[in-house]
Structure 1
Amino acid sequence: MDSVRTPDSDPSEKSGAPAPPEPPPPSPPPSLGGKVRSAARWSLINTVVMRLGNFATGILLARFALGPAEWGVYGIAQTVLLVLLSANELGVGLAIVRWDGDPRRFAPTVLTLGAASSALLYAAIFVSAPAVAGLLDSPEATGVLRVMCLCLVIDGVAQVPANFLTREFAQGKRMVIDALNFVLSTAVTLVLAFAGWGAMSFACGAVAGNVAALIGCALAAPGTLRFGWDPQQARALLGFGLPLAGASLLALAVVNVDTMIVGSSLGQVSLGFYVLAFNMSGWPVRIISEAARRVSFAGFSRLAGSPQALAEGFGRALGVLVTGTVPLCVLLGGLAAPVVHLVYGSTWVPAAAALPWLMALGLVRIGCELAYDCLVAAGQRRSLILVQALWLVALVPVLVAGAHLNGMVGVSQGHVLVAAGLVVPAFLYALGRAGIGFGTIARACAWPLLGGAVMALMLLAARRILGDSAPALVLVGTGALACYVVCVLPSRRFLLGSRAVETV
C-alpha cells in the first residue's frame, strides 16, 4: 500500500537516502555604506593615478615644449570650455543619479536634450570664438577654442552612460575609462607639442581623450545611448535641471572669472604664470575632492530622506576631506618658491608669488564643493543659486581691483578675501537650513585646522634655520607632517566612528 505523503513528510526518510543539502541562504545586498566606501576607494585610486600622470605631463611640457604665453592661451580655452560644460546638458543629466525609479525610462529624453543643447552651444562658440578671443586679448586662441570646445558635443552624449556608472557607484569601471582617456589625450598632446603645435596640442589631445571616454562609457553601460523624446518627461527634467545648470554655471564662473580678468588686465605671460600657480593649487582639490565628489552626490542623495543621517554623512565626509587636504595645502603654500623651482625650473618661479594665497583658496573650495553636492541632494537649489550668485557678484570687482593694485598676487588675495569673509558664512547659513548645524562642521574641521596652523608655524621657523636646500626641505616637510599627525589624532574616532549610514 502506498504511503500517504503529508506536507511534513520527506521521501528521503522513507527510502533511507541522505537528505539533499539545504541551499545556502541568499547573500544580503551590499549596504549603502559599503558601496560608498568601495566606490570612494576606487575613485581615490583613479584620481591619484590620473593626477600624477597629468602632473608628470605638465612638467615635461613646461620644461621642454611650452612657455608662459602658450600656457596662457591654453588657460583661456580651458576656461571657456569649463564654463560651457557647466550648462551644456542643461543639468538634466543629474536626474539619472538623483531621481528614484528606473532611469532607463527617461534616459532617452535626457540624451536628446543633452545632445541638442551641447550642439547648439558648440555652434554658438564656433561663431563667436574670434570675438571671445579678442575680448580676452588673445586673438590666437580662436582656433584652439573651436577645436577644444568640440568636447562640448562629446560630453553632451557621454553624460548619460557616465551618470549611470555614477548612480551604481561603478568607480572601478570609471578608472579604466579615465585611463584610456588619459593615455590617448596625453600621447596626442605630447606628440603635437614637441612637433611645435603650441596650445593647439592641448585642444587636439582633449578631443581625442573625450572620444575614448565616450566609447568606454558606452561599453560599460550598454543600452544607455538611445535617443528618445517624451514631452512630459522633458518638462519635468528641465524643471529639475535648469536651476542646477544655473548654479553650476555660476560655480564655474566663480572659479574661472579670475583667468579672464588676469588675461585681459595683465597679458598672456602673466596669465601663463597664474594658470600654472592655479593648477598647482588645484592638486589637493583634484586628488581628494574630485575623488570624493564622484560618490558624494550619489551618497548624499540616498541619505536625503533622513536629515540626521545626511548631517552625519556630511560631517564625516567633510572631516575626511579637510584632514587629508590641509597638510598638502600647507606644504605647497609654505614651500611655494622652492617647489616651483624644483619642479618646473627657474623660468616659472614668478608663479610662486600667488601660490600661498591660492592654496588657501583651494582649501576653502574643497569645503564649498562638498556643501554644493549636499545642498543639491537635499533639494536646496534656491539657496545654492543665491550663494553662487552672491559669490560671483562680490568677486568680480574685488579681483579687478586686486589685479590693478597687486597683479596676479592681488587677484589671489581677492579670491581668499571674498571666499573666507563672505561665501563661507553664506554656505554655513544654507547648510543650517538643510539641517546641518555649525557644530557638526566645527567638529569636522577643528583639529585639522589646528594642525595646519602648527604646520605653518613650524615651516616658517624651520626654513629660517635650515634654508631651502633639497635635504632641508625634505627634513622640514617630514617634521611638519609629523606635527600635523599628532594634532589630528584626537579626531580619529569621529572620522572612523559610527557606521550608522550603512543601515539607512
Structure 2
Amino acid sequence: MDSVRTPDSETAEPSVTPAPDSLGRKVRSAARWSLINTVVMRLGNFATGILLARFALGPAQWGVYGIAQTVLLVLLSANELGVSLAIVRWDGDPRRFAPTVLTLATATSGLLYAALFVSAPAVAGLLDTPDASGVLRVMCLCLVIDGVAQVPAGFLTREFAQGRRMLVDALNFLLSTAVTLTLAFAGWGAMSFAWGAVAGNIAALVGCALAAPGTLRFGWDPQQARALLKFGLPLAGASLLALAVVNVDTMVVGSTLGGVSLGFYVLAFNMSGWPVRVISEAARRVSFAGFSRLADSPQALAQGFSRALGVLVTGTVPLCVLLGGLAAPVVHLVYGGRWLPAADALPWLMALGLVRIGCELAYDCLVATGQRRSLILTQALWVLALVPVLIVGARLGGIVGVSQGHVLVAAGLVVPAFLHALGRAGIGLAHIARACAWPFFGGAVMTLVIVAAKHLFGDGTPALLVIGPAALACYAVCVLPGRRFLLGSRTPETA
C-alpha cells in the first residue's frame, strides 16, 4: 500500500523508521505500562461500581446512566471527525499539522455538544428515559474536553509514552471517582456519574497538556484541513459504526423493556466488558501505532497480528469462561441478591466479549493498513443486521434474548467478514488458527470442568473457591504447548 503522507508531503521530512530492536523495545515497554495502567484503573472502577450498586444506586438509576453513557460514547466516536489519528499515523513531523487538527477537533466537538444540548429532551424521550435529559447535557460536556485533549493524547500514543499516560489516567480516575462517590452518597443519583466524568476529563486534559508540552496550539491551514478530513472522515464513520455495534443494544433495551431491565442489562454488559477493558484496551493503546510501523511489510504484519491476537485470546478466554460459567454466584457475591436478574444475560455477553476482543484488534489492523472501505462495509453490515435481531430478541426473551441476538450476529456474520478483510491484508486463516487453537481448546476444557464441578459442589458462592482455581489450573495445562509461539523471538515482527 502507499504510505500515508502529510498534507505538506512535498516538503515534509522523510519518516525515520525506528531500528528493529528499538521498535520492539518501545512496543514491549509501552504494552507493559499500558497493561499495568488498564488493570489498575479497571480495578478501581470495579471497586467503585460495587460501592455504588450496593449502597447508593438502584437498577433504574443505572439505566439512566447507561443511556447517557451510550449517547456520549456514540458522539465521542465522531467528535473530532477522525482527524486526531493523523497525529499517530502520518509520516513527518506531527507538530506541523497539529494546530489544524486541534482547531478542527475543538470546533466539531463544540458543534456536536450544542446540537446535543438542544435535542437532549427529545433524545431522552425517544429512549423512554425522560430523566436522562439533564444527565445527558452535563455528561456530554466531555465531548468538548475530549476534542481538545485528542492532540496531546495522540502525541503520547505516537511516542509509546504509556508511562506518562498512566499518570494522566490516574489523575482522571482519582478526581472523577471522588466527585462521583461524593455526589452519589449525597443523593444526586445518576447525575453523580455525569459530574464525575466532567471532572475527570478536565483532569485528563490538564495532564495530557503537561505530559506533551507545546501541543495545544491552535492554527489553520486550508490544505492541511482538506487532507485531514479526507483521511479522518472514513475513520470517524467506521468508529461511529463500531460504537453503534456495542451501544445499540442499550437503546433497544431501554425503549423496549424499560428502565429497570435496562439497569440489569447495563450491569451485565459492564461485567462482560471486564476482560475487554483490562486486556483489549491495554493492547489497543499500542496496537495501532505498532501495526502502523509494520503496515508496509505484509509478512511482518501477519506475524505481529497473529502473536498479538494469541496473547489477547490466551489472557481473555479463562476470564470469559469463569464469568460466564459462574455468573449467578459472581453477581450475588459482588453486587448482592437484588442484581441476580443480570446473571441470566451474562454467559451470552461473555461470549460476545471474547468476539469483540478479536474484532477490535482486527479493526486497528485494518485502519493501520488503510483498508477503510472494507472496515466501513463490515461495521455497517454489523449494525444493519444487529438492530432487527436485537428488537426481536428483546420481545421474545428480554435481556437474555438481546444477548443471544448479539452473539448470533457477531459469530455468524461479522467474524467471517473480518476474516475476509484480514485475508486481503495478507493475514490468512492459518495465522488466526495458530493464535486461537490452544486457548480455545483450554476454554472448552474449562467449560467441562465447571459444568462437572457445579454438579458436585452446587452453584453457591462457596463453590467459587473450589471451581475457579481448578478450572484455571486445567486451562494453564492446556495452553502450555502454545507458550513458545506467544513468547516468540524478540523482533519487530513478533513484538
User: Map of 1:98-117 to 2, 5 A cutoff?
Assistant: 98-117=89-108
Seq. identity, %: 86
Are 1:369 and 2:360 an aligned pair? yes
* Matched AA of 1:326: V
Higher-Rg structure is 1
Distance 1:316 1:503, change over 3 A: closer
- For 1:426, the equivalent position in structure 2 comes to 417
SS at match of 2:492: helix
Tell me, yes or no, if structure 1 residue 312 matches structure 2 residue 273.
Answer: no
Selected match of 2:454 from 449, 452, 463: 463
- Contact kept, 8 Å, 2:300 with 2:493, in 1: the verdict is no
Out of 338, 342, 346, the position equivalent to 1:351 is: 342
User: In the alignment, is the contact (CA less than 8 A) between 2:306 and 2:432 conserved in 1?
Assistant: yes
Provide the C-alpha distance between the structure 1 equivalents of 2:337 and 2:471, rounded to a whole number of angstroms: 26
Tell me, yes or no, if structure 1 residue 279 matches structure 2 residue 267: no
Q: How does 1:73-472 map to 2 (within 5 A)?
A: 73-472=64-463
Query: What's the CA shift for 1:502?
Result: 6.2
CA distance in 1, matches of 2:356, 2:73: 16
Structure 1 residues 442-495: Cα deviation after superposition (integer angstroms, max 9, x where no partner):
000011011001101110110110113444211111110011011111111111
With over 3 angstroms needed to count, the CA separation of the structure-2 counterparts of 1:143 and 1:414, relative to structure 1, is: same
Correspondence 1:479 to 2:484: no
1:501 deviates by 1.5
Conserved 8 A contact 2:21-2:491: no
Q: For 2:233 and 2:460, how far apart are their aligned partners in 1?
A: 53
* Equivalent position amino acid for 1:431 in 2: L
What is the deviation of 1:497?
A: 1.2
1:404-428 residue CA offsets vs partner (Å, 9 max, x unmatched):
0000000000000000000000000
Cα distance in 1 for residues equivalent to 2:33 and 2:106: 29
Could you tell me which amino acid in structure 2 is paired with residue 360 of structure 1? A
Report if aligned partners of 2:253, 2:261 keep a CA contact under 8 Å in 1: yes
Q: Greater CA deviation, 268-277 or 462-471?
A: 462-471
Q: 1:492 aligns with which of 483, 489, 495?
A: 483
CA contact 1:31–1:502 (8 Å) conserved in 2: no
SS of the aligned residue for 1:501 comes to: coil
Q: CA deviation at 1:285?
A: 0.1
Structure 2 counterpart of 1:486, one-letter code: V
SS of the residue corresponding to residue 128 of structure 2 reads coil
What TM-score does the superposition give when structure 2 sets the normalisation length? 0.95
Q: Contact 2:261–2:399 (CA<8 Å) still a contact in 1? A: yes
- Residue identity matched to 1:472: A
Any stretches of 5+ residues in structure 2 without a counterpart? 1-18
Q: Check whether the contact 1:34–1:502 (CA below 8 A) recurs between aligned residues.
A: no
2:439 partner amino acid: P
In the other structure, the counterpart of 2:31 is 40
2:98 is matched by which residue type in structure 1?
A
Instruction: State the AA in 2 paired with 1:109.
Output: T
- Contact in 2 for aligned 1:111/1:225 (Cα 8 Å): yes
- Whole-angstrom CA distance in 2 between matches of 1:456 and 1:352: 17
Q: Deviations over 1:94-149 (max 9, x none)?
A: 00000011000000000000000000000000000000000000111000000000
Structure 1 residue 29 displacement after superposition: 9.4
Structure 1 gap ranges (5+): 1-27
Whole-Å separation in 2 of the counterparts to 1:339 and 1:227: 49
Structure 2 distance, partners of 1:472, 1:432, is: 44
RMSD: 1.1
Equivalent position of 2:59 in the other structure? 68
TM-score of the two chains, using structure 1 as the length reference: 0.94
Distance 1:500 1:57 in 2: 40
1:21-59 deviations in Å (ceiling 9; x for gaps): xxxxxxx99611110010000000000000000000000
